Structures are given as C-alpha cells and as structure tokens.
Structure 1
Amino acid sequence: MIYFMGCTAREKETSIGEATEKLLKKAGVDYRVLKDEKCCGSVLLRTGFIDDALKQIEKNTEILKGELILTSCAGCYKTLKDDYEGLEVIHISQFLNQLINEGKLNLDKKDFNVTYHDSCHLGRHCGVYAEPREVISSIANLVEMQNNMDNSLCCGAGGGVKSAYPEIADEMSKSRINQALNTDCEVLITSCPFCKLNLKNDDIDVLDLTEFLIKYGGA
C-alpha cells in the first residue's frame, strides 16, 4: 500500500499526515510513503491546464500502477479514482472504517456530540457518505448540520475560489461554520485537508477525521 498524502496534507496541514501514519501503525498496516510525492494534478485539471495535467498523470501512473493507494485528500481521491486509469484507490475514511469493522483498530467510545462536514469531492462527487459517519459514530455522537450529504454546503475552498476570490471563500466558510455552531457541538470534523484549512476558526475546533481519532479515540 502507498500512502499518498496530497499537497495540502503534505505541505500545510502536516498534522493530518502524522495522524494518519500513527493510525496505520497502530493497526499494523504495511504501507510506504513516496519520498518525492508529486501533485495528483487535480488543480491543473480543474483550472483548465489539461496538457500539463495529463503529463503529471502519466508520470504518477508509472509509479502508482499496481499498488493500493490510500489518500487523506478528498480531491486526490476523486482525481486518482476518476481521472486516472487502472488505479486502485481508497480514501482514509473508507479504510479506517474497514480497520474498525475488522477489529484491527480499537477506539474508546465517549458520550459527546460532534458534527461532520461533507466535502464536495468526497461527498457529492464520489458518494462517500456512510464510512466517515460510521467511523465518527464509533467514538462519539454525530449531530448533523442543517445541510448534509447531497445537500452539504461547499466550504468555499475548492474550484480555485480560495485563490481567485478569497473574500467569497471566506463568506462561504462563515456560512458553514455558523451551521456547525448551531448544532451546539464543540468539534467540527471533515475528511478533506483543504476543507479543514478553509474552515479553521476561533469558535469551534476543526479537525480532520484522522486527527479526531487521535485526539478523542485513544488511538
């Protein structure tokens, strides 16, 4: 298995990679991390640099083909799964759910409320809704926000909005944070490093799913 961190987890939210590796080691998973991991090409694809993206995809495919690829990033998951050919890809939320169900990852159950943000890439684009919720529910009580699953609100970070229109991205983030605050939960969980980056605020603790398990699950 190759653990493909993704640019955001590798460069900006490094605690996500650290948490993921700690969980993998706790569960006894045999994996490796690429020494010189390159971008999956998602941003190039979504912003119209198709030729550059295809070159990146070709280079990555040579390295990744024939391996099971685990990724922390919802954007990487969608890109590796849908825009590459012949790759076997699994998102960390799906893999953690497998490990828990197989009894390979034992966590502490606590009676407290948390809420979950569906990222666009993992949710509406790839239909991954159940697994992250099952992982969360193994250690906490999940309280849904007003908009969830297919009707989840975008955090504002994707599609180049954060870079080109930061003020719009900030307003979208505030709207989502307000929904989280309305649940009266103290923790907002997401399975996308990019969403975590844009949803960070001073009013509610925002954690990646892996960080949540480390902090609250006794992992």
Structure 2
Amino acid sequence: MPITVNYQSQIQIPEIGLSLWWRWLIATFGGFITSLFWIEIGERHDMSIIEGIIGGIAIATPQSIILKQYISQSRGWIFVTVLTWSLIGLSGLGAVGWFVPQTLEPFLRLFYGIINGAEIGLALGIAQSFILKRQIPHAQKWIWVSIISWAVGLGVGWAIGGVLRQFTRLFISDVVGLAVTWLIVGAMTGYGLMRLVCFLPVEINDYTR
C-alpha cells in the first residue's frame, strides 16, 4: 500500500516546482501566441464573444494538459475558462487579453489596465477555483492569485505597449505589450499554482526511484 505524505513536508519547491512553473508559463504564453493565428489584436469595440471563445480555448487547452497531472477534472478547466472569456467578451469589458486602449498615455493605460485586469482576474479566478477546489486544498487563494496577476500584467503590458507605440508609431508595439501581459500573467499564476500544488499529497515512491 503506497504511503502518502504532505507534499510540502517532503518535496522542496525547487525540486519539482520550477518544472511546473516553466511548463505553465510556456503553456500560457504559447496559448496566446497560438491565438494570434485566429484573433487580430484590435481596440475594445472590435473584440466580441467570438474572440473570447477562440482565445479561451487557445489558452485553456495547453493549461489543462499541465493540470491533468494534478487534478482529475482538468477538462472542466477548459469549460469554465472558455465560458468566462465568452461572458467577458459579451460584457462591456470585451476580450481584454486581445485588445488595447485607444489612448497612448502610459499612466492612463497603467491605471485602467490595473482596474480592468483586476476585474478579469476576479471573474477567471472565481470560475477556475471551482475546478481546483475539488482536489487542491486552499484553492480559494487562486482567486487572489488571478486578481493580482491580471492587474499587474494588464497594467504593465498596456503601459509598455503605449510607450513603445509613441516611439515607433507602429501598432505592432501594442502586440508586444500584450505579449508582456501574458508573460507576466503566466509567470505569476504559475508561481501561485506551484504554491497551491505544494499541499497535494504524493506517493513517496514517485520521488524516491
């Protein structure tokens, strides 16, 4: 009979956590890059439920592959993520992960990015925590992880995009800014997930072969 122990008491974060963090970052950022094959970055009025659905699928699918190793309901992650992005696309916010503000003023972009990012993070965090809580203790903390990650990521990404566009006058600068957003979101949510997974029970045999 396998012996189970508390993950945190036996396995140090650097031992497997860094691997989880890298894979989550690549999955999240790679999902954004993949979504650009179908979604054209635009301004708020250009984004709709269609972009929300496509973007949600592109992001959630590779993430669910990573989660499959830790939870049995990883397919549910795809469903709630796509549903949330769809509802966001229908709302006044629009598919925030794929549009940029009209203003180029960095401070205004930072301000509204933090606000809009926190709203997106709250919606995604609540929906996704319902999937995580089935098997991961303290999954409610994911809501705060999502809020902070999106507030920081969107605010910084929009601001960087605005600064670059003022210098280059090229719209591609905003795409770079959104790429920074998804890198930050991927890095921060990956770290948060890593910390949550540290409370999962594991079999000693899995790590002592």
Common fold by TM > 0.5: no
Greater RCO, 1 or 2 (C-alpha within 8 Å, sep 6+): 2
Question: Comparing both structures, which one devotes a greater share of its residues to strand?
Answer: 1
- Please identify the structure whose Cα radius of gyration is greater: 2
TM-score by length of 1: 0.29
TM-score by length of 2: 0.30
